[in-house]
Amino acid sequence: MDVLEEARRVLEEGEICDHCLGRRFAKLSFGLGNDERGRSLRTTIALEDDEDYTEPESCWVCDDAFTDVDSWAERVVSRLEGYEFSGYLVGTRPQPLVEENERLLDEVTPAEYAEEFKSEFNREVGRRVGESVDADVELERPDVVALCDLTRDAVELQVNPVFYLGRYRKLERGVAQTEWQCYDCGGAGSVEGSDCETCGGSGCVVDDSVEEYVAPAFLDATDGGEAVFHGAGREDVDARMLGSGRPFVLEVKHPRRRDVDLEAIEQRIAEESDGAVEVEDLQRVEGDVVERVKEGDADKRYRAEVDFSEAVSEEELEEAVDALSEATVEQRTPERVERRRADRVRKRRVHEADGELQDGGEAAAVELRTEGGLYVKELISGDGGRSTPSLAGLLDVEAEVEALDVLEVELSLEEVVEEASNGS
């Protein structure tokens, strides 16, 4: 391609700025800005043709948008005030006329070496923004995105969420994992003008939740707009979560601050829950970790206090727990969760089982290590035949879990973060 000849053809179309002239040849000769390319071509043509060199007074292609780059950068910086971020990105929504003008130029000169208007405008505004903020341009995972909307003459700000990974322990029973809205009133607390009988007008099935202690602490610290709790599975409301705790991610939307005092947050949660909920191992992570935590079907260890309808012997209990060890259990969705789970049969494995008789054989303490997703209460009770094999079925007595503790969720936070960063 004869670059000067093509440049002359562009100049013949009308008065054009250096940026738009240079953009037609943006993929030639790296190390130059498009305005430098345009000015060099204009200068060379003037010398070759022995004509007076003149600066363009306007541009029919961009409608003089590049003369306002400094102003747009100032507006972006102003919109970013009050937000903490380490990576930013500038985007552009050009006027339809500019895009049409670019298509007209594509008919005049080859487009294979050209760069779009918005790419150049993004870069020029972004570079100037970088001179005023303590942050870097981040193409893949920006904390904030400033959109220069030339159609509306406005700067739109997109503040991306921030994510914190950690573990929680639930040391008291009667605490849900997340806010549990009443099914009958949809959280309104009333039905047809009267207090909902199911929830007593509270709008919630359970008054306390881990989420309700964790989320406010993060929202206050980050000055965020909304929080979403993502847990690695969940335990029943009447079960405790002990050991090292259950992994979770707290997603904070529209945060003004990102680097927060995580130890202070841990302390606040413990104090405001009166010790019912403890959080530890907090760390800031990327959003990819959410999927790894939610889909990480980790093995779990449990301790269940079980009551029997009639006394059983040590030999009977030993034979039953031996039969459960390494057994594959088929479980139809339990009746108690049918409203929240699809009705299907799941196969889950029991890795280990052990038991110790209590109260003269009318009760037992049973410890289990199982594959994630196994319903432990139904493994004990049999759930009317919906779960087989079961401890009740093997003993041929009725068995009911009186108290359940999750002793461990075998999911490494370090491995979760590593897998997310590797995309595996």
Cα angle at 144 between 141 and 146, to 5 degrees? 120
Q: Which pairs count as long-range contacts for 206-210, CB under 8 Å and 24+ apart, including other chains?
A: 206/174, 206/175, 206/176, 206/180, 206/237, 208/174, 208/175, 208/176, 208/273, 208/276, 209/175, 209/176, 209/177, 209/178, 209/179, 209/180, 210/168, 210/170, 210/175, 210/176, 210/177, 210/178, 210/248, 210/277
Contact 302, 187 (CB under 8 A): no
Cβ neighbourhood burial of 235 (10 Å; 0-12, 13-18, 19+): buried
Q: Among 263, 269, 391, which residue's Cα sits nearest to residue 323?
A: 391
Cβ neighbourhood burial of 202 (10 Å; 0-12, 13-18, 19+): middle
Q: Which of 236, 238, 299, 322 is catalytic?
A: 236
Contact 356, 385 (CB under 8 A): no
Q: Is 380 strand, coil or helix?
A: helix
| DSSP assigned state of 136 | E
Which residues, at least 6 apart from 421, have a Cβ–Cβ distance to it below 8 Å?
A: 286, 288
C-alpha 49/C-alpha 46 separation (Å) is 5
The helix/strand count (H/E) of the chain reads as 13, 18
Contact 308, 364 (CB under 8 A): yes
C-alpha 158/C-alpha 209 separation (Å) is 30
Query: Tokens at residue 274, please?
Result: 């009166």
CA atoms 309, 314, 315, 321: torsion sign? positive
Partnered with residue 91 across adjacent β-strands are 147
Contact 44, 37 (CB under 8 A): no
**Is 236 one of the annotated active-site residues of the chain?**
yes
Pairing of strands 87-93, 144-149: parallel
- The DSSP annotation for 22-44 comes to HHTTTTSSTT--HHHHHHHHHHH
Give the residue numbers annotated as catalytic, written as ranges: 236
